[in-house]
C-alpha cells in the first residue's frame, strides 16, 4: 500500500501492518498508519453509542445563558429554526440535514453494518451501505470534523 504523509507529502510503500504496529514518516515523524485500537466490537459499541447519544444531543440545549432576567438557549436545531423563521427555507433545510439528520442516518447505517458484521451475516448491500457511511462522513456534522482534524495537529 502506498500512502502519503499528511504533513510533508512524502510517499511511502507500507507492507501490511501487524496488530499494534505504528508506521511513522521517516522525514517528519508524523503517524502514517497504525493498527492499534482497531477492533470490530469496539467500533460497533462506539457507533451504537454515538447513534444513541445523538438523540439527546439534538434534543437537549447546547448552551444555556441566564443573565439579568433574560434566558437564552441554543440547540443543534436552533440555527435551522431561525433560518426557517426568516424564510431561508433551503438554507434551513440544508442546515438541519447537515447538523441533525445526516449524522443520525450515518450512524444508523454504520451501526447496522457493524452489527451484521459482528453476527457474521453477509448481505449483498453491506459494502454499498458502508461506502455510503464513508461518503456521509464528510457531510454529517462538518464542524465536528474540522475540529477533529485541527485537534490532531
Which segments within the chain are labelled E, that is strand?
2-4, 11-13, 22-24, 31-34, 63-67, 70-74
Shortest Å distance, C-beta 24 to Zn ion: 8
Nearest distance in Å: CB 14, Zn ion = 13
Nearer to Zn ion, 24 or 78 (CB): 24
Question: Any contact of residue 25 with Zn ion (CB under 5 A)?
Answer: yes
Residue 133 cell numbers, joined = 457511511
CB of 137 to Zn ion, least distance (A): 24
28, 42, 82, 144: residue in contact with Zn ion (rule CB under 5 A): 28
Under 8 Å between Cβ of 114 and 129 = no
Is residue 100 within 8 A of residue 58, CB to CB? The reply is yes
Of the residues 30, 50, 58, 78, which one makes contact with Zn ion according to CB under 5 A: 30
Kindly state whether residue 27 participates in binding Zn ion, applying the rule CB under 5 A.
Answer: yes
Phi, psi of 10 (to 5 degrees): -65, 130
List residues binding Zn ion (CB under 5 A).
Answer: 5, 7-8, 10, 25, 27-28, 30
Amino acid at each position: 500500500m502506498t500512502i502519503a504523509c499528511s504533513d510533508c507529502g512524502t510517499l511511502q510503500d507500507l507492507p501490511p501492518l501487524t496488530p499494534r504496529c505504528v508506521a511513522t514518516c521517516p522525514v517528519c515523524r508524523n503517524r502514517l498508519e497504525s493498527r492499534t485500537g482497531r477492533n470490530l466490537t469496539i467500533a460497533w459499541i462506539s457507533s451504537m453509542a454515538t447513534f444513541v447519544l445523538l438523540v439527546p444531543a439534538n434534543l437537549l440545549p447546547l448552551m444555556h445563558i441566564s443573565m439579568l432576567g433574560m434566558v437564552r438557549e441554543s440547540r443543534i436545531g436552533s440555527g435551522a429554526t431561525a433560518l426557517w423563521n426568516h424564510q431561508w427555507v433551503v438554507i434551513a433545510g440544508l442546515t438541519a440535514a447537515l447538523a441533525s439528520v445526516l449524522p443520525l442516518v450515518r450512524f444508523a447505517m454504520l451501526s447496522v453494518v457493524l452489527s451484521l458484521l459482528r453476527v457474521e451475516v453477509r448481505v449483498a448491500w453491506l459494502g454499498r451501505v458502508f461506502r455510503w457511511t464513508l461518503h456521509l462522513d464528510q457531510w454529517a456534522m462538518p464542524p465536528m470534523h474540522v475540529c477533529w482534524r485541527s485537534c490532531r495537529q
